[in-house]
Structure 1
Amino acid sequence: MRPGATVTVALEPRPTGSWPQPRSSNPMLAIVTSTATDSKGVTRVTVRAARTGAVTITWGPQSAPVFTLRLSVAAYPVQ
């Protein structure tokens, strides 16, 4: 993705409860801009890329995340 772009992740309900709060490994590169859970239990999280580089968004403890999203932010289209 490119700087300024956003991605929204839709997470299905978990049988063990709600999703943990997401964390960016480097908020200078990408930041979680919104998180919301609807009446059906689906959680939507939007992440905005700020600068070029690689960043990881994790849900749960860093040592054993429940879910991991890895993003590469490039200044130009990558094929």
Structure 2
Amino acid sequence: MTVVLEPRAHGSWPQPRSSNPMLALVTSSTTDRRGVTRVTVRAARIGEATVTWGAEGSPRFTLRLSVAAYPVR
């Protein structure tokens, strides 16, 4: 999945951090010259993880992922 974060008034977004890189791996993070940040996260297996931007105790943004199995035909 790709997360698009609008520019921040007080500087760029901090680097994203996954709570479980074995489940939710941040594969790329780029910021364009307008300040728009695009982050690609790859889910590798079933489970739950969070991706946060900012300090652990007070993140600026948190993405909570819940990855479930689905039948393949």
- Count of residue pairs brought into register by the alignment: 71
TM superposition outliers: structure 1 runs of 4+ over 4 Å: none
Q: Structure 1 or 2: larger strand share? A: 2
- Percent of pairs identical after alignment? 75
**CA distance, structure 2, for counterparts of residue 21 and residue 39 of structure 1:** 16
| TM-score normalised by L of structure 1 | 0.86
Question: Where does residue 40 of structure 1 map in the other structure?
Answer: 34
Return 5+ residue gaps in structure 2 as ranges.
Answer: none
What do you get for the CA RMSD once the two structures are aligned? 1.0
Per chain length, whose mean CA-contact separation is higher, i.e. which structure has more relative contact order (CA < 8 Å, sep 6+)? 1
SS in 2 for 1:66: strand
| TM-score normalised by L of structure 2 | 0.93
